[in-house]
A and B are shown apart, each in its own frame.
Chain A
Amino acid sequence: MDMNESGEKGMEGNASSGAAGIPVEWQTQFSAAAFSCAPPPQQQQQVPMMDSAFASAGLWASTSQAMALSDVGAMSAARGGGGFLAPVPGFLPQGLGHFPVDSGFIERAARASCFGGGGVMGATAGFRATDHQPMNNAFSGSSEALLDHQRKDGNEKGEPELGRNGHDGVLSSEAAGGDCSSKGTSDSKKRRRPNEVMGGDQVQSSNLPANSANESVHSKDKGEESSPATTTGPGKSKGKGAKETSESQKEDYIHVRARRGQATNSHSLAERLRREKISERMKLLQDLVPGCSKVTGKAVMLDEIINYVQSLQRQVEFLSMKLATVNPRLDLNIEGLLSKDLLRFPGVPSSSLGFSPEMMHPQLQLSQPGLIQGGAAGMANPDVFRRIMQAQLSAKDGSQMSHALNGGSFSDVAQMAYPSLGSQDLSIRPSQDGFQM
């Protein structure tokens, strides 16, 4: 058909020229594709055909979702469009058969996937309401997976649109696609990636502070600010499409993607990342501090945390005072205490509790290998305890006797404490004294 051929030629030309003019041609390509595939009615008008074009694009997208995600990415690119234009007339009448997998398409899709993914998403957004969520996730996941593979290309990707409106989504995708394409050819810059999933793994993201020291922020200077204000406001562009979520590939740089409609200065990106880390930690604290589920806002949360920590510390003081009143000689009746107390811990046999305190002096049974490696925290020798307690008590008393006993300054104690850890012969023995861990 004439339209088909001209469409294909146009697409080839566009693809060869690069990413520049593709989104402008996007609609025409789609229309051309639809034109070629709309089976019986030979529609000559553009406008009603565009609807069917996008509907069919949505149908294609929804079927491709069943296949590998990379195919979706491939399809979303202009080249990919050219690729499947050919088999489309044959496949479509049979109800959207499989599209050929082409790794070349995938690569090209990765390069153009910023607007490609956005374009298809925008195109299909308004017309497949039920398929929104999985498709958008699929697209974002695919585009991000592709980006991860193609990071060496170093193209700075713009934000993929999660436009949810119908035509507006299309328009915005085109416009942003245009912006993306103009920047897609810019020089490669490092991106920042947070090691966090939005609304997800907080444990893994706790490793961030170690990485953040090494990270360097580098981003485009030209505005995403210049992207035209569309109906898809910044409020919509949140969630998975906004950030790369693959944590398996840890690098020196933490990569982050600027959200739609927000500034992409390096400073503001860093600010935003920092703010999000803080809010995520606040959420963790909310779970920990009782009665803070309804509280929002940093100031009130901090107040609650401070109150809670103060109350806990006061409780410790009170309990230690209570213990001090109960036993006048600080001996603590160890065996009796342990027999009563440890029996409450499940899994401790009572027979092994018959040990004498002297047994604990020669070795300290360490069950945690982490204690051995830990520099400051792994205290293995009771002597160290003794020294520290002496330092504590003598400092409190200020008596001359203690000075005579110690014979040294307190800083020496600290120095002695830490180097002794390295030289300790720490051995993990199976519970000789009944402490089973």
Chain B
Amino acid sequence: MRGPNTKAFQQGFLKNMILSLQACSEFCISSSASGGAAMMSLQQRKYAIKSSADIAMATARGRGARWPQAVLASSSSPSRRLSKPSSSPGKKKNTRVCKKIVRRCLHTWRRSRGGTGGASSLARTRTAMICSREIARRLVRKRTKVLRKMIPGGELLDEISLLHEAVDYVAHLHAQVDVLRRISNAVQRG
């Protein structure tokens, strides 16, 4: 029953999703009852469904990973988004600097590659290797940053547990997509 592809997880997920959607519809009804007919727009509904799916997945996950906590925390207090824009200028600068360095590396590498003919091939390959290694390292770092953003709660983790969480999260996302697809097919049919 541990894996996310088991029937138990999917049933639990389904149950939770129904609960949350019910809560959502009750909220809708109550809000409309007090202030008149306020139908939710498509965007609102979509957002409600998506968040209820995320919450359902997080709660059905049980213990054993960090991302459910982050999902629930972010869903309970969505006002955290204000802090994000402040950090982006700094990040842009870093990425710009990184790009410059990478470009310079590539330039020197290409120049060294195309410049001297046969002599000092060893030095050339060494600089080429060094440059490519640094480039690879930078790429890895960049992508790790992106992955951190995408996985809920990934900002705090180190590389190893980040990959661990990524494995877990990917498996559960897969199951979530599966259940949602089934729901939508069932709703479409009847």
Binding site for B on A (CB under 8 A): 206, 208-209, 212, 274, 277-278, 281-282, 284-285, 288-289, 297-299, 302-303, 305-306, 308-310, 312-313, 315-317, 319-334, 336-338, 340-342, 344-347, 357, 360, 364, 367-368, 370-371, 373-379, 382, 385-386, 388-393, 395-397, 399, 401-402, 405, 410-411, 413-414, 417, 435, 437
**A405 in contact with B64 (CB, 8 Å):** no
Closest chain-B Cβ to A409's Cβ sits at a distance in Å of: 8
Query: By the criterion CB–CB under 8 Å, are B140 and A299 in contact?
Result: yes
> Is B40 a contact partner of A309 (Cβ separation < 8 A)?
no
How close is B14's CB to chain A, nearest CB, in angstroms?
7
A388, B31: Cβ atoms closer than 8 Å? no
Say which residue of A320, A360, A374, A437 sits within 8 Å of B180 (CB atoms).
A320
Query: For residues 1 through 58 of chain B, which have their beta carbon under 8 Å from a beta carbon of chain A?
Result: 1, 7-8, 10-12, 14-16, 18-28, 30-31, 34-35, 38-40, 42, 44-55, 58
Q: Is the beta-carbon distance between B160 and A277 smaller than 8 angstroms?
A: yes
Q: Are B184 and A278 in contact (CB under 8 A)?
A: no
Q: Is the pair B28, A330 in contact by a Cβ cutoff of 8 Å?
A: yes
Expressed in whole angstroms, the minimum distance between the Cβ of A108 and any Cβ of chain B is 40
What residues of B have a CB within 8 angstroms of the CB of A410 in the complex?
76-79
CB atoms of A317 and B50 under 8 A apart: yes
Distance between Cα atoms of A377 and B139 in the complex (Å): 34
Find out whether the CB atom of A389 lies under 8 angstroms from the CB atom of B27: yes
Shortest Cβ gap from A358 to chain B (Å) = 10
Taken together as a complex, chains A and B put the C-alpha atoms of A313 and B50 apart, in Å, by: 10
Q: Known interface pairs A382-B19, A391-B76. Does A316 touch B64 (Cβ–Cβ under 8 Å)?
A: no
In this complex, how many residues of chain B approach chain A with their Cβ under 8 Å: the count is 88
Q: Across the two chains, which residue of chain B brings its CB closest to A325?
A: B42
A contact residues around B186 at 8 Å (CB): 336-337, 340-341
B78 touches A395 (CB 8 A): yes
Nearest CB in chain B: distance from A304 CB, A: 10
Of the listed residues A341, A360, A405, the one surrounded by the most CB atoms of chain B closer than 10 A to its CB is A341
Q: What DSSP secondary structure best describes chain A's contact surface?
A: helix
Measured between alpha carbons, how far is A310 from B143 in the docked complex, in Å? Answer: 13
Cβ contact within 8 Å between B69 and A376 = yes
B22 touches A316 (CB 8 A): no
Partner of B189, one of A297, A340, A396: A340
B30: chain A residues at CB < 8 Å are: 405
User: Which residues from chain A contact B45 at a C-beta distance below 8 Å?
Assistant: 324, 328, 330
- Residues of A within 8 Å of B62, CB to CB, are 368, 370-371, 374, 377-378
**CB-based nearest B residue for A367:** B8
Tell which of A206, A305, A370, A373 touches B170, judged by Cβ atoms closer than 8 Å.
Answer: A305
Bound-state Cα–Cα, A281 to B44, Å: 38
Q: Are B187 and A393 in contact (CB under 8 A)?
A: no
Q: Are A396 and B140 in contact (CB under 8 A)?
A: no
Is A310's CB under 8 angstroms from B35's CB? no
The answer to whether B166 and A297 touch across the interface, beta carbons within 8 angstroms, is no
Provide a sorted-by-A list of 6 A–B residue pairs whose CB atoms are within 8 angstroms. Answer: A320-B180, A332-B18, A344-B182, A391-B78, A392-B48, A405-B31
Tell me how far the C-beta of B79 lies from the nearest C-beta in chain A, rounded to whole angstroms. Answer: 6
Are B187 and A413 in touch, CB under 8 angstroms?
no
| Chain B, Cβ-Cβ closest to A329 | B25
List the A side residues contacting B24 at CB < 8 Å: 330, 389, 393
Given A285-B163, A385-B55, A389-B52, CB of A368 within 8 Å of CB of B1: yes
Q: A209-B164, A302-B144, A333-B187 are in contact. Are A377 and B22 (CB under 8 A)?
A: no
**Does B125 belong to the interface (CB within 8 Å)?**
no
B181 partner residues in chain A, CB cutoff 8 A: 319
Instruction: Determine whether the beta carbon of B167 is less than 8 Å from that of A285.
Output: yes
| A316 in complex: contacting residue of B12, B79, B176, CB < 8 Å | B176
Contacts A282-B163, A312-B174, A315-B177 known; list 17 others, CB within 8 Å.
Answer: A274-B159, A281-B167, A285-B167, A308-B170, A316-B54, A319-B177, A323-B184, A324-B45, A330-B24, A331-B25, A342-B14, A377-B68, A385-B22, A388-B75, A401-B31, A410-B76, A413-B76
Docked pose: A377 CA to B67 CA in angstroms: 10
A393–B48 touching, CB < 8 Å: yes
CA distance A434 to B125 in the complex (A): 68
User: Which of B84-92, B95-103, B146-154 contacts its partner?
Assistant: B146-154
Whether B147 lies near A392 (C-beta < 8 A) is no
